[in-house]
Each structure stands twice: as C-alpha cells, then as structure tokens.
Structure 1
C-alpha cells in the first residue's frame, strides 16, 4: 500500500486468573502467524497489560483489509482458537471493528520548533 500506515489501538480483556497464561503464550508467537500478520500488512503489533486489561497498538497498511485477510488465514484461525481460551470475549473477525476512537494526541511540531 502506498499511503501512510494506519495506527490502530485496541482493547481486550484477559480472563480472570488467566493473565499469566496470556503473557506466556505471547512470549513467542508461532512462525506461521508471524508470517501471516506480515503478509496482511502488519508492520508492528504491541500489547500492554494492566491487570486483565490488554491494550494493543497495531501499525498496519490497511486495518480492514488485514482483518478480512486474517479472518480465514489458517495460521490466524488456529491462533484465535488457542488464545481465545485466555480471553473474556473472543474476536471472530466478523463485523466492522475499527479499534478505539482517538481522543487526543500531542500535536507534531515542525523541525523549526
């Protein structure tokens, strides 16, 4: 994609008592999932956890296209089936998810500032 990357923020929740399991499972994701994410245009995906709350920051070429591509990708389908056991609410990759609404950001200053 030739346009600017999208930066998408997401919020999910780990199931009560499964927070450590969620962390452990993300210590290293499967190689085929890594490859699938990159094929779908993901440049970076970071996750922070505060208790059960999980905050994701995704840099991607086209978030909607990524979700559509991953919805049926075998590596992602297998990962979702596995990782969803550690989450309160599972993501089916159906619908029109657009991430969290941006409320505010520090404005970018020019190089002369």
Structure 2
C-alpha cells in the first residue's frame, strides 16, 4: 500500500473549488488582493515523482472563500497534454492543493509584492 501524499485533495473537492472560482469570482472581483501562492517543496517533489510530462494549475475557491491553486500532473498523448486524473484514464495521478495564498503568506520585502 502506498503512503498518502502530502497536500492532496480528491477530485470532488477540486471540481467544486474550480467551479466556484469560475462562477463567483471569475473576473477578479472579490479576490483582487491575491498576488501569489506559496508552494511547499514537498508538493512539487511529489507531483514531479509521478512521471509527468508537465503540470497544469487550476485556480479555485474553497467553502471558506480561501483561494486555491491546484496542480495536476499531465501526460502527453499525441499533440495534447492530458490531466493525470482517474476520469482521463490515469489512476495514479493526484491533485495537489496549494492552500497558502498571498496575502497573508507573502514575502513583505519582495519587490514583486
């Protein structure tokens, strides 16, 4: 049995977060303060260890109105890069939930902030 990966969420939650972003805040409105996301190193290591050809990032909002950055691995199939999810034929792919938006987890001294 494989160990549970860090910071993964299930497809049901990921689809809900993405739909909520598009429905309620798809034009920047209430999330105008969002500048960036802090991404834990372990999340990047785990998604890259899945044997990906690339990654795709989705933006979402959870039920507490916290912005989410969700990353899934992709595999090249022909000319396309397909999300590695069970619904696309990849049982081993995970959805990583990067839940530290900036603000509040900003680098206050960064020239990009």
Question: What is the TM-score when the length of structure 1 is the normalising length?
Answer: 0.31
Point out the structure with the larger strand share.
2
Q: Which has the bigger relative contact order, CA under 8 A and spacing at least 6?
A: 1
Point out the structure with the larger helix share.
1
